[in-house]
Amino acid sequence: MNEVQATLCGAVFGGIIGVVGTYVGAVRIAQRQRFIDASHRLREAFHDELAALLADFDIDAIRLLESAFKKHLVAITEFSYALSKNKRREFNQAWQQYHCAPEVSPCYHFLEQYATKHGNTSELKKNKQLAIDRIQVILSFTE
């Protein structure tokens, strides 16, 4: 191979590497932006309910969370697709732990575990804190 052919071959090879590198970089940027956008929407979907739980002891947590469930589900579904398969599996487990009855398979929607209206005070505080903790676990995936 003469010098001209070697230079031409190097230029073509360098161009291919540049194109592939640019493509991979663009895909990563797009994935990161998708994650950022979905994270924002997930935090926004839970914001009002989490703020209400943190601020007001005398709140009906079941009614609060049930009324927002559809909004939460939409944000959860969208966000899960912005995660890797391993993170998605962990995230889906956190979501099921939040909204499913404990130790029941298949998932049975059960927000009654967060009852804050009827019962003894310490149990009601515990239920409210459980809801807060589980929401915060879900939101921790956005970091």
Cα–Cα distance for residue pair 28/50, rounded to 1 Å:
32
Residue 23 inside a domain? The answer is no
Mean pLDDT, range 92-110, rounded to an integer = 91
Q: What angle do CA 103, 107, 111 make, to 5 degrees?
A: 85
Residue 27 inside a domain? The answer is no
Q: Which residue segment(s) compose the domain that 79 sits in?
A: 39-140
Residue 109's DSSP bridge partners are: 100
Residue 3 inside a domain? The answer is no
Number of domains in the chain: 1
Mean pLDDT, range 104-131, rounded to an integer = 90
- pLDDT at position 121: 85
What pLDDT, in 10s, does the model give residues 47-95? 999 999 999 768 899 999 999 999 999 999 999 999 999 999 999 999 9
Residue 72 inside a domain? The answer is yes
- pLDDT at position 98: 96
Predicted TM-score (pTM) of this structure: 0.83
